[in-house]
Chain A
Amino acid sequence: MNTKILDILLIFPSGGDVYHTNFNHHLGTAYIVAYLREHGFLTEQFISNKPYNIKECVKTILQYKPKVIGFSVYESNFMQSVLISNCLKESNPKCIIIFGGPTPTVQSEQILKSISSVDICVRQEGEETILKILTELASVNFNLKQVDLLEIKGITFRDKDRIIINPDCNVLYMNRDIKNYIDRYPSPYISNIIPISKAFPTGIITARGCNQNCTYCNCAVLSKKNIYFHSIERVIGELSLISKLKKFSQPIPIYDDTFTIIPSRTKRICKAIIESDIKIPLLCITRCDKLDEELLDLMKLAGFVSIGFSLESAVPRVLRAIGKVRSVDVGDTLNYEKEIEFIQKLKYMTHYAKKIGMFPVFVSIMIGLPGETPQDAKKTLNLINQLEIDYYTHNILHIFKGTPLYKNHRRYGYKLTPMGYNNQIILRNNFPFNIDEIGLAKKSTKERNSKVMDYNILNILSLKCNQSNNKSFFNNIIINQDVIEPSLVKWMQQVLAINGIIVHIYSNKDIFLKLHTKNEMTLYNEYSPTNVYECYYWENSGNIKRLISGRMLSYGEEAGLSISLRNTNLVLEEYYKGYDTDFFIGVDRNKTDTDSFLKLLHVISKSEDSFNYLLERNVLPQFQSLCRWTMNQANCEDMETAIIENDNTVRICWYSEPLGKVGMSFFDIKRNLTERKRNTIKRRRCHQCEQKNLCQKCIFPFPLSAKEYCEYKITQKTNESANLINTFYVLKDFLYKPINPYDF
């Protein structure tokens, strides 16, 4: 922890997938840190791998004692940024808060109107503008009221009740004739802001901006269709430093909007890499019409092991409508010759990249583009199925404010609505046709990512504990009611981890279809601390109750799992027969279930080598009651997951009675639980029991009575076998959570 008082702390809250509960390195933010430090300001980026809720996060941030706090804000991390910002301002009203990044660049006025904790929005490139703000602030002892903000270009700010939008800074544009002007911004790696060990996945850039005409994209909008290049010497200097790492687990991404936009420059970079004998595996995404075999061969020699191409659509008319190949305003709008060529080139270049041994070669597409019909979208998927690629990314069009498409969206039949009165920043897009009918092609990343998510959900529903240690919030919340009220979201802001997982279980498919959109909008309108919102609905089939992933309705069977809940006794019968029980959860509904589970524990403990016994058998199902037979591995101790029922009561265990209500603090719920446990232990006289140090002392042992539970615990030694079963879920993790993205 830095003990000095910081001039500015920059924060990039990661925005919302299950693995990102932390604050990672961010290239754009690191550039600003490096530049400000060079000018003598005490600057840090907030980096942390720990999970936090909003309050704990703010507490940690304030330990840096920053005078100014800056956020890098995208739509994906907008809610988290606002919640942290609001809480910071509440805790320290003197702290000056700045929002910068893509979303404030195009929505600065709306942000300042609706988010009172934000003082200033910085638009476009941040280096010069933030330097100017800090210089002015430092001259008046960081008293914002004394700064003449009207003099600072590139910002939007609040002056009493008015929002003032100053002219753009345009520093890069004004200096466009100075060769490699952006070299004046120090390298985040050479300045030691980002350790080289984090070059993956943080990556590098060799240029900023894009000059292409894609109507849906905000890269060209943000750079006003200009590209600013680093010198080749600078690129080589940065790569040389990174190459000292020697061992690379993954290729280092080059995050240029289009790395090969000027093929001759790309060639020079590749030749310089080869001449400098730099050995780094590299990756980039580019346009197929901006490279040829010769360049790809050279890139391969220079270390590019992987390449991605953006296709968007395989229909020439659609490519023409989005300006992918050439501006929509240029030439005969009904002539698709160049678009046909583009598609042919993509087919050839993906083939060629595979031929020369690149791996993985991937393509990105977008569904719901202007003028696209369901048949057009299916044509794109058909082409994907024919390509020699390792995977593809299946994106759904999101219309960003500020893009040419945003201005013309009505012409194409889109209906954009803000998520709600409180959140006008994030827009929901209604498409002219039902994009959910399209499904996925083969090798979709969505399919694999969905499976990883479903596997996590399986663990959560079984109330597995992964990250204990005296926390003051839940990592996951299971909503077992159909409607999400605003009060529930407000409560989650207090008790749920930033980017924690919300699992919503609907009563049935019809209710899911009826209420899902409204609930999702409530989460956005009230500012949920997480975007990770996974929906399931119940489906009954004979004696098996299944939880069906809502994703399967959108993307078909491949994009989700049905998780089956069945009596433990019946699940184990299938397990013994050698059937696949990976996605079953065994539920104890009667004593036979409990007996059958204890029999499994007995078999394991009696086997000659328990470890090998489990190793050589099928992957085990999950069990909802496993924790009671273990020691120190129960949700009632770690409180990782809360279950919210229809009447807004909160439970910690599927078998427990309510321990609180939505609205109560985490500590009050914990206190109720502790009290309950203390009373149970007292009533059962656990302190007199010889098993007292080996017993989980389950307070909700249904279907057993307390007496039966005690008898079982005394007569049967369960801990070792039960803990071993938990151990084997680690193997399951290895199987289902890919540790190499290229397994996708």
Chain B
Amino acid sequence: MSIEADEVKKKSNKKRLDKFFGKDKANAIIECLEDCVNQGKTGSELKECVKECLMTQKGFDERSADDSVTIMAFITVG
């Protein structure tokens, strides 16, 4: 089995991003990624760059994985 397996099997990166985030957000993610690659960023710097770009240029909120798991931990304990 795989993550979100059946629904997204055999679909491209782009289609999967569209499905998860909607077309607009998916396009924003891809644009930021391409920008950062063109700036020569790699590894952890690349990820930071994409996040920064999404927040500053594309109006994304800082919805980080850290936050999501923090609240999940809260809910679990509660």
Contacts and interface: CB of A to CB of B under 8 A. Distances in A.
A617 B12 contact: yes
From B20, B62, B68, B71, name the one whose CB has the most chain A CB atoms within 10 angstroms: B68
Given A250-B63, A465-B43, A201 B13 contact: no
B10 A578 contact: yes
Nearest to A449: B72
Contact of B68 (A455, A578, A733, A740): A740
A619 interface: yes
Interface string A446-457: 000101101100
Given A201-B74, A615-B14, A724 B3 contact: no
Interface stretch (A17-25, A167-175, A330-338): A17-25
Interface string B10-51: 111110110011000000011001100100001110110010
B67 to A, nearest CB: 6
A727 B75 contact: no
B72 A744 contact: yes
A743 B69 CA distance: 12
A462 interface: no
A727 B78 contact: no
Contacts of A308: 75, 78
Contact of A17 (B42, B67, B73): B73
A60 interface: no
A137 B15 CA distance: 64
A580 B42 contact: no
Contacts of B1: 557-558, 561-562
A219 to B, nearest CB: 10
A178 interface: no
Contacts of A561: 1-3
Query: Chain B's interface: helix, strand, loop or mixed, by majority?
Result: helix
B36 to A, nearest CB: 8
Given A250-B63, A619-B13, A735-B17, A730 B3 contact: no
A674 interface: no
Contacts, number: 147
Interface size class of A (residues with CB under 8 A): 35 or more
B8 to A, nearest CB: 8
A364 interface: yes
A726 B74 contact: no
B77 to A, nearest CB: 8
Contacts of B72: 393, 445, 449, 741, 744
A468 interface: yes
A412 interface: no
Contacts of A737: 65
A611 B37 contact: yes
Nearest to B5: A580
B3 A455 contact: yes
A617 B13 CA distance: 6
Given A617-B12, A731-B29, A452 B65 contact: yes
Contact of B65 (A19, A255, A619): A19
B70 interface: yes
A730 B46 contact: yes
A632 interface: yes
A743 B67 CA distance: 13
A738 interface: yes
Contacts of A1: none
B78 A285 contact: yes
A18 B16 CA distance: 25
B74 A200 contact: no
Given A310-B78, A364-B76, A726-B43, 15 more contacts: A19-B66, A248-B61, A395-B76, A455-B3, A465-B43, A467-B44, A557-B1, A611-B37, A616-B13, A617-B13, A619-B16, A632-B42, A731-B33, A734-B21, A736-B3
Interface of B: 1-3, 5, 9-14, 16-17, 20-21, 29-30, 33-34, 37, 42-44, 46-47, 50, 61-76, 78
14 contacts: A17-B73, A19-B70, A20-B69, A24-B70, A203-B74, A449-B69, A465-B44, A562-B1, A579-B10, A632-B42, A734-B21, A738-B65, A739-B64, A741-B71
